[in-house]
Amino acid sequence: MATYRRLDVAFASGRGAWLTDQAGARYLDALSGIAVCGLGHAHPAVAEALAEQAGRLVHTSNLYRIPLQEELAERLTEVTGMERVFFCNSGAEANEAALKICRKFARHKQVAEPLIIAMTGSFHGRTMATLSATGKEEVRAGFEPLLPGFLHVPYNDLSALQLPEAVHARVVAVMLEAIQGEGGVNVPTPGYLRALRELCRRNGWLLVLDEVQTGMGRTGAWCAYQHEAILPEVVTLAKSLGNGVPIGACLAGGAAADMLQPGSHGSTFGGNPLAAAAALAVIRTLREQHLVEHAATCGAAMLARFREQLGAIDGVVAIRGKGLMIGIELERDCGVLVEQALQRRLLLNVTAGKVVRLLPPLVITEQEADQIVATVCLLVKEFCH
């Protein structure tokens, strides 16, 4: 089906931050499969884990214990501070599980018509429930009627949560991305997430953080909420968790930890031995090679250089980011830069129409980071003049 506008290039192989097309041309990947290949392409630790596990056992189903899944749950609760994990196959499924937890929590509190507060500009997935939570009209258009029970308010605006008493009484949760990715790499004001955490605590609401794009070290911490030293009730992960192998996770703690019980949710493939082996290899590699810390330092250096070279350019509205998640907002739509970058053998993305989005792999070297900065600065300067 014609659901994608694909660029006219096909890749045959990859290694680290580089992809090679069918004609043998090499491209520097500053997108990582949309924040998926955090360890880059064909990482030997992941390849070895997959090959070894595929030769032993791929799938048994969740009717039985899966030791690798249990080990992965231990590792994920360690790095996130959560208590329990539900495994699935994607970010949308992880967010779907989070929304079901919120609905179960509402029944537990005997709220008959619960409301989940979500944010304008957000993106949580394309299933009917996650689409209903998503705050982008262009994504939702044509799929109405959507699921009821969502109230969208402006992101990074605490005053928007001063609700009429009748509405306030129906709220059971607040769901948001720690940093909005598809919405334009929107980084909240320092203290916003902490204040939101306190607001939810006072009101007995669940705080649900979508870390599908920001999780697994992308922002220089295992999860972006850790920059503010807070702990939500629900966290969702996917994308770079398996470095390209489909796997998602919905983690819960506190009042949300035991909402899902046998029979209330499930997944045929979720957390099977093959996917769990890949994710365990990812976590081991991130730790052994100190790649979370590298994302913080390398990303900060790139951000500083972008601000130095582009900050005073007419047509550049803002340069923002955290770790290796960087957005350069321009005054006008700049989708043409994707094709122009491709011609210069660089892969990047434009989101929200006007934001150049960079999500390079966490294994990127200083030289590769310099090349990305140089090429992007050249493209933006040409575009703005």
| pLDDT tens figures, 201-228 | 999 999 999 999 999 999 999 999 999 9
Residue partners of 98: CB distance under 8 A and separation at least 6: 175, 208, 210, 234, 236, 250
Give the E-state strand segments of the chain in sequence order.
Answer: 11-15, 18-21, 26-29, 84-88, 115-119, 150-153, 171-177, 206-210, 234-237, 248-252, 316-321, 326-330, 346-347, 349-351, 355-358
Residues 341 and 377: their CA atoms lie apart, in Å, by: 11
Q: Kindly name the residue from 87, 104, 105, 239 that is annotated as catalytic.
A: 239
pTM over cut 0.95: yes
Tokens describing residue 58 = 């791929």
Q: Kindly name the residue from 105, 123, 150, 306 that is annotated as catalytic.
A: 123
210 belongs to the catalytic site:
yes
Q: What is the pLDDT of residues 142-163, one digit of tens each?
A: 999 999 999 999 999 999 999 9
Tokens describing residue 214 = 């920001």
pLDDT of residue 47: 98
pLDDT of residue 301: 98
Which residues partner with 321 through β-bridges? Answer: 326
Residues 307 and 300: their CA atoms lie apart, in Å, by: 11
Q: How confident is the model at residue 164 (pLDDT cuts 50, 70, 90)?
A: very high
Tokens describing residue 35 = 């924040």
pLDDT of residue 229: 98
pLDDT of residue 64: 98
Q: What is the pLDDT of residues 238-281, one digit of tens each?
A: 999 999 999 999 999 999 999 999 999 999 999 999 999 999 99
Q: Kindly name the residue from 29, 105, 210, 354 that is annotated as catalytic.
A: 210
Q: How confident is the model at residue 124 (pLDDT cuts 50, 70, 90)?
A: very high
123 belongs to the catalytic site:
yes
Residues 278 and 286: their CA atoms lie apart, in Å, by: 12
8 Å CB contact between 111 and 170: yes
Residue 152's SS3 state is strand
333 belongs to the catalytic site:
no
Q: How confident is the model at residue 30 (pLDDT cuts 50, 70, 90)?
A: very high
